[in-house]
Amino acid sequence: MSETVATQVQTFTYDEPHPHAFTRGEVGWLPWLEPLPVDELTDRHYDGLVDRARASSDYFRLLARDPEILRARTLVDKDIFYNTAQGLPRAERELAAAAASRVNGCVFCASVHARFAAHFSKSPEFVDALLADGVKADLGERWDAITDAAAALTATPIAFGPAHVTRLRATGLDELEIADVIHGAAFFNWANRLMLSLGRPVAPPDQA
Amino acid sequence: MTTPTVDVVDTLTGAAPDGVVAAVRSIRPVTREQLQASYDALFDPVDDAEFSLTERLLVAAFATGLTGADATADLYAERAADADAGAASVIASLVAEAGTAGPFGRYREEGLVGESADGRRFSVAEGARTQLGDRLAAALEHTHLLVYRPREAADAALQRLLDAGWTVSGIVTLSQLVAFLAFQQRVVAGLRVLEEVGA
């Protein structure tokens, strides 16, 4: 019976334009599968969403179909990126996220985290170089060490090794900051795979 | 859900109690707890009606095996074998034949077509498909896509899962599972290097 029901379900299709390339513009995202309707959200789903405002997002209401993993994902995400009392500055956590997204090819994730990296670093020109030229772009030694480490961690098989740690340390990162690079890049190997596989990016309104 | 007494990432990194990894993880208790909570949510689920625990472990063994022969892959291979030794053995042979390097894939974005890269794609051969069933075979093909060429993921890939009997909610959990493992395996790999290099 479940098979009968399942074969009736179809993925959504859209006519909206794709982004042209990586960009700091406001890339949109459309789900290929049906998010939970807002009027079907229960306390268990809101618990998974963590922030009630996320109920307005198709992406989070689609993920709310499995609330327990969404909740843990959301809390680990927030701690890795927003808990900046100690450790790596926010700009460089966002840089690691943008670099991982650039390597995997997630135009949506790269746009969001490139905007954050540009905002917090006040160096939009370097962020744009990463988007345009990829992780081989020359961003200065400290940022190159971070993007190189993020890329190595994003490769399959995983290519991160002692030389990456040594290089990060040589540019002034301590162990906690290196662990923050590891977590930030690794987390985007989770986020990119969700965003890329459950829906598609849409060109920013001013670039369509 | 059970309360874990063992933190999986601590176990997999083999971190010494007085080592670098134990020290940095103690400064990030929320990350540590929620990484473990993610593992628990997926492998000690409230409800596994749409994606059984045994299927989860078999998919996990395949995903982590493709990513690398390391401590994380060993954990899931063992857990899969405990859950279904026959299917786990088929999956172990699929890991050996399906391994490649990533991320690669064709870009849909016009300005990125020049960066498109080709690589080895995978479909479950008839013999293994008969042993594992169409539903699990479809999940393994989707897993290979997510592990190596996530930029090529498309609506057609989700339609293949729907056609093989997966529900929308089951697909969400399958996607979370493979994507979470990409994170967990990389955290472990990264922290092992940090521990090895030392303070």
User: Can you tell me the distance from the alpha carbon of A155 to that of A159, in angstroms, rounded to the nearest whole number?
Assistant: 6
Helix (H) or strand (E) holding A201: strand A199-202
The minimum CA-CA distance between B156 and chain A, rounded to whole Å, is 8
Which of B147, B173, B199 has the CB atom closest to A69's CB atom? Answer: B173
**Would you say the C-alpha torsion A101, A107, A110, A114 has a positive or negative sign?**
positive
| Residue among B27, B109, B191 minimizing CB distance to A182 | B191
Chain A closest CA to B84's CA: distance in Å? Answer: 23
Q: How many helices (H) and strands (E) does chain B have?
A: 10, 0
- For residue range A194-207, list pLDDT tens digits in order: 999 999 999 999 88
For B172, name the nearest residue in chain A, comparing CA atoms only.
Answer: A63
Closest approach of B104 to chain A, Cα-based (Å): 8
How open is the CA angle B28-B29-B33, to the nearest 5 degrees? Answer: 125
Residues 6+ apart with CB under 8 A from A20: A203, A207, B109, B110, B111
Of A22, A158, A176, the CB nearest to B27: A176
Is A102 within 8 Å of chain B by CB? Answer: no
Contact across the interface for B185 and A158, Cβ inside 8 Å: yes
* Closest-CA distance of chain A to residue B115, Å: 10
**B193:A11 CB<8 A:** no
Using the beta-carbon criterion (under 8 Å), do A156 and B102 form an inter-chain contact?
yes
Q: Take residue A105 and report the two structure tokens written for it.
A: 């090819």
Q: pLDDT tens per residue, chain B (199 residues)?
A: 445 468 999 999 999 999 999 999 999 999 999 999 999 999 999 999 999 999 999 999 999 999 999 999 999 999 999 999 999 999 999 999 999 999 999 999 999 999 999 999 999 999 999 999 999 999 999 999 999 999 999 999 999 999 999 999 999 999 999 999 999 999 999 999 999 998 5
Closest to B192 (Cα-Cα) out of B19, B7, B27: B19
Distance from CA of A166 to the nearest CA of B (A): 8
Spatial CA neighbour of B118 closest among B102, B142, B97: B102
Q: Which two tokens stand for residue B109?
A: 């974005």
The residues with which A202 forms a beta bridge, in sequence order, are A28
**Six token digits for residue B63:** 């995903």
Domains and CATH numbers, chain B: 50-184 (1.20.1290)
Structural domains for chain A: 86-193 (1.20.1290.10)
Dihedral (Cα; A181, A182, A183, A187), 10-degree rounding: 100
Tokens 């794709």 identify what position? A18
Share of chain A above pLDDT 70, in %: 97
pLDDT tens-digit series, residues A48-84: 999 999 999 999 999 999 999 999 999 999 999 999 9
Distance CA B194, CA A185 (A): 15
**Which residues in B lie closer than 8 A to residue A9 (C-beta atoms)?**
162, 167-168
Burial class (CB in 10 A: 0-12, 13-18, 19+), A134: middle
CA distances from A193 to A78, A172, B87, B126, B127 (A): 18, 31, 26, 28, 29
At B43, which amino acid appears?
F
- Residue B67 to residue A157, Cβ atoms within 8 A: yes
Q: Is the pLDDT of residue A4 over 60?
A: no
**b/e B70-95 (16+ beta carbons within 10 angstroms → b):** bbbbebbbebbbebbeebbebbeebb
Cα–Cα distance between B169 and A202 in angstroms, integer? 24
Residue A175: is its pLDDT beyond 70?
yes
Query: Which residue in the set A83, A105, A194 is minimally distant from B179, CB to CB?
Result: A194
In this predicted structure, what is the pLDDT of residue B37?
98
Structure token pair of residue A13: 């299709």
Contact (CB<8Å) A18/B150: no
> Cα(B107)–Cα(B115) distance, rounded to whole angstroms?
7
Q: pLDDT at position A1, please?
A: 42
- Within 8 A by CB and 6+ apart from B145, the residues are A197, B152, B153, B157
CB pairs under 8 A between A and B: 222
**Cβ–Cβ gap A69/B151 under 8 Å:** no
Q: Are A131 and A94 in contact (CB under 8 A)?
A: no
